[in-house]
Amino acid sequence: MHLAAQSLAAAGISFLDAKADDSHTNLGFNTESGCLETHILSENNDQLLLCYQDFSLLWKSKSGTKSFPLDGASHQGVLRWITETSKTSLNKEYSYDLHYELPYNSDDPFTYKLNDAAALKELMHLRILAQSSLEKINQKYGFDTSIRIWPHHFDTGIYTEITGSENSVGAGLAIPDSVCDAHYLYASGYDSNGRIATSGLKGLTKGKWGNEGFKGALLPANGLSESEAVQFFSETIERFKIM
């Protein structure tokens, strides 16, 4: 799914004006369809989607929807389909030319294979958990910030100033990495000096503080309810708010 998401990021690079913060490459998540979505790519509402529900790519526009199943498809076959579809729909050239490094060589021969439908469904539910809980946080704290998925790190996250404070917070869902070997919720605080140290902060109902390497709070996400996720984010924001 990480590799497939890069094809969506490349669509943002190919068809949208570049933004200094790289936000033209980031993706949204639709909790109803279970799909990752690019920004709108044209005046005809063209959009490229990656769907967890049926492991496919979709190209949507005012004129209709085209689909491409990923199971059994090669990576190069995916790129050919997007190239042909975008040329027909936009009359523009799609280029898979990422300006950041991936943890693997995306030019190697690769075939997508759906080996575990239940695992894919669980990944979708984790995205739904992240999206819905962060929407609740935006509403609770009056944050005016978008919830986006950044294709390089593949995290669902927000970054915003904390209302009523000079500090900021970055929070969301991260995929397994050197910090945690499972999907996890995270939150880090920032002040004028950079990332806020967490030593001495009041403990959390769920989750723990890290202060070496990763400075922030983390909580493994598997099995969490939305209310538990909202509680985790809320507690961390309250701690950072008064630093």
pLDDT digits over 37-52, tens only?
A: 999 999 999 999 999 9
- pLDDT value for 127: 98
- pLDDT value for 109: 82
- Which of 48-57, 106-115, 208-217 is most confident? 48-57
Residues whose CB is less than 8 angstroms from the CB of residue 232 and which lie 6 or more positions away in sequence, other chains included:
185, 187, 204, 205, 206, 207, 217, 219, 224
- pLDDT value for 236: 98
Of 159, 166, 134, 153, the residue nearest 232 (C-alpha): 134
Mean pLDDT of 2-9: 96
* 196-235: pLDDT as tens digits: 999 989 999 999 999 888 999 999 999 999 999 999 999 9
The domain limits of the chain are 2-115, 118-241
The two three-digit tokens of residue 99, written as one number: 């300006």
For the stretch 4-32, what's the b/e string if a residue is b when 16 or more beta carbons lie within 10 angstroms of its beta carbon?
Answer: bbbbbbbbbbbbbeeeeebebbbbbbeee
Q: Is the pLDDT of residue 184 over 80?
A: yes
Q: Is the pLDDT of residue 107 over 80?
A: no
The two three-digit tokens of residue 55, written as one number: 């492991």
Q: DSSP label at 78?
A: H
- pLDDT value for 217: 98
